[in-house]
């Protein structure tokens, strides 16, 4: 996919007198808690407005807000990546988009909007995946802000920025600011790769996704959700075989709804609706403009403070709960010494000598602080089990029934890979 | 299994089912939070915003997007070069020299076609000095004022406080990285707080006849192994409670008794993988929690509605329900009459049922087979329906005039949430400083130094800006002197106060884009809660420090 570069006049010429009257009150003098390294006045303004290059990942609910805030704060060289196109359900919060934009790429429409509204700001969109870009691309930025709804994409950018760090080159450390929201709740955090706790360090803070046991879905449905899962997980592949379910296709959702409704009727279960069907199969998370505004503002405020040193930045986690009053909690999330991304150490696991490879794989899938779906295992000398390609899977499948202790010595390392895992996980096995 | 003859044409299969309309699709992600009832409340709301600052337009953006009815932006000023630089809802330099409210309104309206919006280029002071203007202000659903001149704000707050039916007022102040807001409201009745998603009482200790009958009829030994593993936990618990009471006379209460009760549940297991018995043990807390009305709801039974005739007094400052000897009569003109009638009916219902509230009808999922679950669900629904009808009859009998004002949906919502309903009593803006002036504020500064310091300094800067809006008189010394007028000349000053003073002196008139956006989100969240009467709004000053990135609430208590 092509990168479209749009320019928007000469950055300096667009700065009319008093344009930054508000922001300059902060940049012209230090506050009582400002670090002595702060270069008040022209030095910091020049860096912010002429040199600093910032990357925004996601042009959705948080991304739209982030782009507007950065532009008004004085960042002038902004890049944005998003692989999605605009859907009508985005319009209740993604305020740079209008009904006429439905179907167009978010990154491109958002970039154009910002450049029209805020003169002198250059926003360079990329309509595609973050995984399309290499280390050189990420190396060009001073800061990265993420407004994503995907755990997988966050893990990827987190691991990429941690790997980018070269102790010999201070420029290689790219602060990562990450925001997320759900309903009236949200969080913003600052990650200094290899120095502070990283995204991977906190994986166990994520809520476990609701998963219904397959026997409940197949045999003893009780809730409308069970009927919907039956329609999407069991009936769709049975009826349509290789045809892929597209949860964005209203016809596919319609079929699931109808099928789930029929099953619900058969079992006298109430509550299957179009909205619930869509919510279950797409795993929809409620989202509103106001929460996104708070979290995006928090992210941009930290970016502004880091870029200018005008005030101390968040160390390192801000959590907001707006359901019962306004409750927030600011704390330092601690680095995990055995973090597979930034800890550099192998993860110790203690298992029984009787455990089969299959049992170990099951344990890894269950583990909240690892979160993998289809792990492949190997040691320095052996292939234990590979999920793909099919020939290798077939070849290694007999190992599933074998005991791990027959294949791996006590204290040896197992390397775990998975397509959803943006790094190799090393386990040190100990038998108990 | 072969799918011959089963393959379906999607077009054909879905012909009778059409996707939701465009409006439902547009609002899908928020309807999952506040549903059609919340959306309809938002669509009836008319919001007045005073000043077209960056913060004000940020608030409005977050209210126009979810679809409020309409808004009015009142501001007398022309846009300056500084406004053009920090306000996203101006057309850059093209807006300079034109009324900023007029410039901002179309850019806000284009966010959502279904929202009305108008600009009024007038001075608030002028509007408030005419009875017609005051009446106009009182006609809105909610008023938001950002960095309004202190004298004007005091006048506005007083006027809106004197009338119980006047709209809530959200007072917002900000300077650089520091900010606060306060919602002045008389009473907020929250019928859907969404604070506790655990289904309330399942009547485990006080089963209704059909539930009890099922439970006592269970013969564990006669059940085949599959059925044994499918007895729903609610039934297991009801039965265990009945047996326990027969043997011990009372419910388990000591730690040892509770452990013994759990041991009884464990002993019922015939196979280790019978998860229904694990669930019963995990849910055993329902036995000691009991089924009577929660204490917070019982407290509301004694709550008297507000009396409109004493509106201007300080009566509204009470934050705890007053214990009234004779209950005030509820008439259709009583503030929040429908809610108070429902609340009083709830008290009557609890009286008649030895402390029970009407059954919500909600049943959590549990390990069981479809037939048992559906049967149990039907029992709960039938019972809930019967109790709701009884409740409705009580309401009509006790409050015939008000009952007609309560829609079937409102009654349904109230009964479903009876275990969680909340009533908040607010305060007049500024009342805390008046009552706590001197020693009270000095104590607050010792107890919550950073929060109190931020609030006091924002108060101090508002006083200084009242006469010199350009900030030319805001110095470290001047701010400190103003703070001492509030806390007393000799009060001890913590480091946090020095920090807050320094931060405000650095940027006394700065409406920073990120601070504005942060406040815009927080205040819109609160406005939505006030309007929908869903979720619980903040009571007190919500103070924000974006240097250390925290928020906190102070000034809640008298």
Q: Looking at the structure, tell me whether residues B297 and B244 fall in a common domain.
A: no
Count CB pairs under 8 A between chains A and B. 289
* Contact state of A16 with B93 under an 8 Å Cβ cutoff: yes
What was the pLDDT predicted at B19? 85
Contact B268, B223 (CB under 8 A): no
pLDDT(B323) > 80: no
Q: Identify whether residues B403 and B472 lie together within a single domain.
A: no
* Res B516 pLDDT > 80: yes
Q: Are B265 and B275 in contact (CB under 8 A)?
A: no
Asked if A21's CB is within 8 angstroms of B86's CB, the reply is yes
Question: What total number of domains does chain B contain?
Answer: 4
Residue B456 resides in a domain: yes
The kind and range of the H/E element at A376 are strand A376-378
Q: Which of A33, A221, A323 sits opposite B370 (nearest CB)?
A: A221
Task: Identify the pLDDT of residue B310.
Answer: 65
Mean pLDDT of B167-177: 98
**Structure token digits, residue B319:** 């934050």
* pLDDT tops 60 at residue B449: yes
pTM: 0.93
Dihedral through CA A24, CA A30, CA A35, CA A41, nearest 10?
50
SS3 A34: coil
Instruction: Give yes or no for A257 touching B (CB within 8 A).
Output: yes
Segment 185-214 of chain A within 8 Å of chain B by CB: 188
CB A18 within 8 A of CB B82: yes
Q: How confident is the model at residue B393 (pLDDT cuts 50, 70, 90)?
A: very high
Specify the pLDDT at position A205: 87
The stretch A15-28 carries a mean pLDDT of 97
Q: Could you give phi then psi for residue A129, rounded to 5 degrees?
A: -95, 150
Instruction: Tell me if B197 is assigned to some domain.
Output: no
pLDDT of A9 > 90? The answer is no
Is there a domain that residue B489 lies in? Answer: yes
Interchain pair A241, B517: CB under 8 A: no
Give the CA dihedral B278, B280, B281, B286, nearest 10 degrees: 150
pLDDT of residue B283: 97
Q: What percent of chain A is modeled with pLDDT above 90?
A: 84
For residue B402, which of B344, B443, B347 has the smallest C-alpha distance?
Answer: B344
The token duo for B224 is 């085949």
Q: Which residues in B lie closer than 8 A to residue A230 (C-beta atoms)?
A: none
pLDDT at A358 over 90: yes
Sole residue written with tokens 């192994």: B225
What are the strands of the beta sheet with A77-82, ordered from one edge?
Answer: A122-127, A77-82, A53-57, A143-147, A176-182, A185-191, A317-321, A327-331
Are B508 and B475 within 8 A, CB to CB?
A: no
**Would you tell me how many other CB atoms lie within 10 Å of the CB of residue B208?**
17
Interchain CB distance below 8 Å, B499 and A16: no
> Any idea what the CATH number is for the domain that residue B50 is in?
3.40.50.720
Q: What pLDDT, on the 0 to 100 scale, is given for residue B241? A: 98
Which of B255, B271, B290 terminates a domain? The answer is B290
Give the domain extent around B414.
1-20+292-424
On chain B, the residues whose CB falls within 8 A of the CB of A258 are: 13-14, 16-17
> Of the candidates A20, A92, A239, which has its C-beta nearest B66's C-beta?
A92
DSSP characters over B374-408: HHHHHHHHHHHHHHHHHHHHHHHHH-HHHHTTS-H
pLDDT band at B321 (very low <50, low <70, confident <90, very high): very low
DSSP A211: -
Residues B35 and B162 reside in one and the same domain: yes
Residue B225's alpha-carbon distances to A324, B217, B231, B241, B263, in angstroms, are 45, 17, 11, 23, 21
- Average pLDDT of the segment spanning A77-103: 98
The sheet carrying A425-431 orders its strands as A347-351, A425-431, A413-417, A376-378, A383-385
**Three-point CA angle B232, B237, B240, nearest 5°:** 125
Residues B38 and B127 in one domain: yes
Instruction: Tell me which residue has tokens 């060009």.
Output: A140
B195 vs A228, higher pLDDT: A228
Cα A358 to Cα A281: distance, rounded to the nearest angstrom: 28
The C-alpha atoms of residue B429 and residue B185 are separated, in whole angstroms, by 9
Where residue A144 falls among pLDDT bands split at 50, 70, 90? very high
pLDDT band at B546 (very low <50, low <70, confident <90, very high): very high
pLDDT for the residue A370 = 83
The answer on pLDDT for B324 being more than 70 is: no
Contacts of A336 (CB under 8 A, 6+ apart): A197, A200, A201, A342, A343, A369
The verdict on B124 and B31 lying in the same domain is: yes
Tell me whether residue B31 is in a domain: yes
pLDDT at A245 over 90: yes
Is the pLDDT assigned to residue B317 strictly greater than 70?
Answer: no
With beta carbons under 8 A apart, name residues in chain B contacting A91: 26, 65, 112
Cα A288 to Cα A279: distance, rounded to the nearest angstrom: 16
**pLDDT score for B315:** 43
pLDDT at residue B326, rounded to an integer: 58
How high is the pLDDT of residue B311? 53
The A residues from 81 to 120 touching B (CB cutoff 8 Å) are 88-89, 91-93, 95, 98-99, 117-119
Q: Which of A64, A146, A201, A215 is catalytic?
A: A215
Q: Hunting for tokens 């344990």 — which residue is that? A: A363
Q: What confidence score (pLDDT) does residue B16 get?
A: 56
Judge whether B164 lies within some domain. yes
Question: What average pLDDT score do residues B139-161 get?
Answer: 98
Asked if B167 and B34 sit in the same domain, the reply is yes
pLDDT digits (tens, 9 = 90+) for B238-293: 999 999 999 999 999 999 999 999 999 999 999 999 999 999 999 999 999 999 99
Shared domain for B45 and B106, answered yes or no, is yes
CB contact under 8 A, B195 and A323: yes
Alpha carbon of B448: minimum distance to chain A alpha carbons (Å):
15
Does B47 lie in the same domain as B76? Answer: yes
**Closest in B3, B25, B88 to A89, CB measured:** B25
Domain boundary among B244, B262, B290: B290
Q: Give the pLDDT confidence of B187-205 residue by residue, as tens digits.
A: 999 999 998 777 789 999 9
Does one domain contain both B296 and B286?
no
pLDDT at B139: 98
Q: What's the confidence (pLDDT) of residue A5?
A: 45
In this prediction the ipTM stands at: 0.94
Beta bridge partners of B178: B175, B545
Distances B244 to B253, B257, B276, B382 between C-alpha atoms, Å: 12, 10, 19, 27
Check if A215 is active-site: yes
CB contacts of B365 in chain A (<8 Å) are: 222-223
Considering only residues A10 and A254, tell me which one the structure prediction assigns the higher pLDDT. Answer: A254
Residue B430 maps to a domain: no
The residue-averaged pLDDT of B55-68 equals: 98
Once rounded to an integer, what is the mean pLDDT over residues A172-190?
A: 97
The verdict on a CB contact (< 8 Å) between A324 and B526 is no
Residue B35, pLDDT score = 96
How much is the pLDDT for B2? 39
**Chain B contact set for A267 (CB, 8 A):** 370, 374
- Domain membership of residue B429 (yes or no) is no
Predicted confidence band of residue A147 (pLDDT cuts 50, 70, 90): very high
On average, the pLDDT of chain B sits at: 93
Give the mean pLDDT of A390-403. 93
Residue A346 has pLDDT above 90, yes or no: no
Q: How far is B5 from chain A (nearest CA, A)?
A: 10
B193 contacts in A (CB within 8 Å)? 324
Q: What is the mean pLDDT of chain A?
A: 93
In a domain, B88, yes or no: yes
**Res B314 pLDDT > 60:** no
Task: Tell me the C-alpha distance between A429 and A405, whole Å.
Answer: 9
Nearest chain B CA: its distance from A174 CA (Å): 21
Structural domains in chain A, CATH included, are 20-183+287-314 (3.40.50.720), 214-282 (1.10.10.520), 347-431 (3.10.290.20)
Q: Which residues are CB-neighbours of B213 under 8 A, at least 6 positions away?
A: none
Same domain, B175 and B163: yes
d(C-alpha A297, C-alpha B517), whole Å: 6
Chain A: nearest CA to B364, how far in angstroms? 9
Give the torsion sign (CA, B480, B481, B487, B493).
Answer: positive
Question: What mean pLDDT do residues A201-216 have?
Answer: 87
A236 touches chain B (CB under 8 A): no
Instruction: Tell me whether residues A33 and B547 touch, CB distance under 8 A.
Output: yes
pLDDT on residue B557: 61
Shared domain for B310 and B399, answered yes or no, is: yes
| Whether the predicted pLDDT of A57 surpasses 90 | yes
CA distance B316 to chain A (A): 20
Q: Are residues B75 and B65 in the same domain?
A: yes
Per the CB < 8 Å rule, is A322 touching B522?
Answer: yes
- How far apart (Å, rounded) are the C-alpha atoms in residues B204 and B191? 25
Instruction: Decide if A251 and B11 are in contact by the 8 Å CB cutoff.
Output: yes
pLDDT band at residue A421 under the 50/70/90 scheme: confident
Q: What pLDDT, on a 0 to 100 scale, did the predictor assign at position A128?
A: 98
Per the structure block, which two tokens stand in for B554?
């102070």
Average pLDDT, stretch A189-201?
96
């Amino acid at each position: 996919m092509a990168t479209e570069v749009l320019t928007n006049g000469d950055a300096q010429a667009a700065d009319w007198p008093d344009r930054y009257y508000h922001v300059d009150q902060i940049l012209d003098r230090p506050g009582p808690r400002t670090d002595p390294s702060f270069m008040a006045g022209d030095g910091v303004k020049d860096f912010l407005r002429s040199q600093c290059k910032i990357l925004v990942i996601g042009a959705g609910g948080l991304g739209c807000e982030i782009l507007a805030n950065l532009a008004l704060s004085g960042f002038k060289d902004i890049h944005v990546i998003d692989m999605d196109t605009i859907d009508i359900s985005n319009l209740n919060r993604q305020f740079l988009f209008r009904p006429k934009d439905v179907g167009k790429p978010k990154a491109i429409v958002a970039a154009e909007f910002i450049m029209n509204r805020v003169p002198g700001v250059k926003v360079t969109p990329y309509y595609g995946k973050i995984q399309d870009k290499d280390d050189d691309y990420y190396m060009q930025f001073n800061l990265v802000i993420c407004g994503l709804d995907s755990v997988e994409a966050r893990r990827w950018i987190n691991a990429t920025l941690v790997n980018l760090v070269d102790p010999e080159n201070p420029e290689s450390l790219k602060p990562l600011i990450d925001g997320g929201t759900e309903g009236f709740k949200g969080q913003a955090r600052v990650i200094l790769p290899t120095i502070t706790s990283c995204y991977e360090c906190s994986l166990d803070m994520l809520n476990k996704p609701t998963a219904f046991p397959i026997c409940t879905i197949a045999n003893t449905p009780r809730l409308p959700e069970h009927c919907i899962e039956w329609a999407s997980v069991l009936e769709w592949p049975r009826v349509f075989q290789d045809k892929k379910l597209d949860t964005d296709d209203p016809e596919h959702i319609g079929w699931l709804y109808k099928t789930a409704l029929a099953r619900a009727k058969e079992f006298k279960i109430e509550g299957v609706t179009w909205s619930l069907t869509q919510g279950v199969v797409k795993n929809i998370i409620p989202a509103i403009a106001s929460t996104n505004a708070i979290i995006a503002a928090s992210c941009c405020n930290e970016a502004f403070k880091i870029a200018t040193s005008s005030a101390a930045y968040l160390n390192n986690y801000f959590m907001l709960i707006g359901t019962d009053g306004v409750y927030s909690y600011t704390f330092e999330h601690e680095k995990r010494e055995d973090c597979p991304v930034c800890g550099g150490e192998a993860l110790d696991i203690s298992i029984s000598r009787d455990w089969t490879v299959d049992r170990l794989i099951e344990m890894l899938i269950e583990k909240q602080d690892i979160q993998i779906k289809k792990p492949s295992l190997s040691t320095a000398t052996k292939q234990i089990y590979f999920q793909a390609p099919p020939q290798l899977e077939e070849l290694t499948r007999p190992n599933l029934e074998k005991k791990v202790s027959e294949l791996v010595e006590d204290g040896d390392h197992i390397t775990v890979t998975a397509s959803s895992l943006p790094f190799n996980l090393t386990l040190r096995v100990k038998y108990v | 299994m072969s799918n011959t003859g089963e393959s379906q044409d999607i077009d054909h299969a879905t012909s009778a089912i059409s996707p939701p309309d465009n409006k439902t699709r547009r609002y899908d992600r928020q309807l999952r939070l506040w549903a059609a009832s919340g959306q309809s409340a938002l669509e009836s709301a008319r919001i007045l915003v005073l000043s077209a600052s960056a913060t004000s337009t940020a608030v409005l953006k977050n209210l126009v997007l979810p679809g409020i009815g309409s808004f009015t932006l009142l501001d007398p000023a022309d846009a300056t070069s500084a406004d053009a630089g920090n306000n996203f809802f101006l057309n850059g330099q093209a807006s300079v020299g034109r009324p900023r409210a007029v410039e901002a309104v179309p850019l806000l309206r284009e966010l959502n076609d279904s929202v009305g919006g108008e600009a009024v280029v007038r001075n608030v002071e002028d509007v408030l000095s005419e009875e017609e203007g005051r009446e106009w202000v009182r006609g809105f659903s909610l008023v938001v004022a950002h960095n309004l001149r202190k004298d004007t704000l005091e006048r506005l707050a007083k006027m809106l406080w004197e009338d119980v039916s006047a709209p809530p007022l959200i007072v917002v102040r900000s300077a650089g990285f520091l900010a606060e807001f306060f919602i002045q409201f008389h009473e907020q009745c929250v019928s859907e707080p969404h604070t506790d998603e655990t289904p309330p009482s399942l009547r485990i200790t006080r089963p209704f006849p059909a539930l009890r009958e099922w439970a006592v009829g269970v013969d564990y030994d006669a059940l085949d192994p599959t059925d044994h593993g499918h007895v729903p936990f609610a039934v297991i618990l009801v039965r265990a409670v009945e047996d326990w009471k027969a043997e011990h006379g009372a419910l388990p209460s000591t730690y040892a008794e509770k452990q013994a009760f759990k041991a009884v549940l464990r002993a019922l297991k015939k196979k280790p993988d019978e998860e229904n018995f694990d669930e019963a043990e995990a849910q055993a807390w329902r036995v000691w929690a009991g089924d009577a009305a929660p204490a917070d709801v019982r407290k509301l039974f004694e709550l008297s509605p507000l009396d409109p005739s004493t509106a201007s007094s300080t009566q509204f400052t009470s934050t705890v329900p007053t214990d009234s000897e004779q209950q005030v009569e509820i008439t259709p003109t009583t503030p929040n009459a429908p809610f108070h009638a429902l609340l009083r009916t709830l008290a009557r219902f609890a009286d008649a049922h030895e402390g029970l509230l009407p059954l919500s009808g909600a049943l959590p999922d549990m390990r069981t087979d479809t037939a048992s679950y559906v049967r149990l669900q039907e029992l709960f629904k039938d019972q809930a329906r019967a109790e709701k009808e009884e409740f409705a009859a009580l309401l009509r009998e006790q409050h015939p005039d008000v009952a007609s004002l309560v829609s079937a949906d409102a009654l349904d919502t109230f009964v479903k949430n009876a275990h969680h309903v909340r009533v908040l009593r607010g305060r007049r803006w500024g009342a805390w400083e008046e009552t706590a002036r001197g020693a009270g504020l000095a104590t607050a500064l010792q107890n919550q130094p950073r929060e109190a310091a931020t609030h006091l300094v924002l108060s101090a800067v508002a006083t200084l800006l009242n006469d010199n809006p350009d900030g030319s008189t805001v110095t470290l010394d001047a701010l400190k002197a103003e703070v001492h007028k509030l806390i007393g000349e000799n009060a001890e000053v913590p480091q946090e106060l020095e920090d807050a003073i320094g931060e405000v002196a650095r940027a006394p008139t700065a409406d920073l884009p990120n601070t504005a956006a942060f406040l815009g989100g927080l205040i819109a969240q609160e406005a939505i809660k006030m309007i929908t009467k869903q979720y619980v709004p903040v009571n007190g000053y919500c103070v924000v420090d974006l240097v250390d990135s925290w928020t906190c609430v102070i000034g809640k208590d008298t």
